[in-house]
Amino acid sequence: MKRSTEILILAAVLAAAVAVPTVQAQPEGPKGPKGPPAERRAEMADRMAEHLGLTPEQQAKVQAIHQAERTQGEAIRNDSTLSREQKQEKRKALRESTVQQVDAVLTPEQAAKAREMRAKAKERMEERKERRGERPPPKG
């Protein structure tokens, strides 16, 4: 009986010794592996600049456009006089305006590639919604 207790204790100690380094190696952060929103925005901006071949001047202009979008989006979100539907409409119009402004900064080739990237992203989003059992928005 004493021997089986010793083996059980030894097994528990070994399991703990293996588990502790694994737990300590887990990434920390408020949003998990993706990081905070500012970090994700920076990564997306870098990826966009790389895929489209943006010049430093274009990058600065696009960044300013997106900053203005965030500021206006926050104002819409905090406007308690608007209904949920009105907020959605305003956010949609803001997004469309932002896309037009960004496209105006790009060369025709870059704008075409950006439209293609947005279309692929929209497809991926609809696929994720379908996998979760949600209906995609109507096309058109």
Q: Quick one: residue 32, left, alpha or beta (phi over 0 = left, psi -120 to 50 = alpha)?
A: left
Q: How far apart are CA 50 and CA 139, in angstroms?
A: 30
pTM: 0.64
- SS3 labels along 2-50: HHHHHHHHHHHHHHHHHHHHHHHCCCCCCCHHHCCHHHHHHHHHHHHHH
15-69 residue pLDDT tens:
555 555 444 444 444 444 467 888 888 888 888 889 899 999 999 999 999 999 9
**Domain ranges in the chain?**
43-130
Average pLDDT score, the chain: 80
Q: How far apart are CA 134 and CA 126, in angstroms?
A: 9
Question: Which of 69, 140, 57, 67 has the alpha carbon at shortest distance from 105?
Answer: 57
More confident residue, 5 or 83: 83
Please name the amino acid found at residue 23: V
66-89 residue pLDDT tens:
999 999 999 999 999 999 999 999
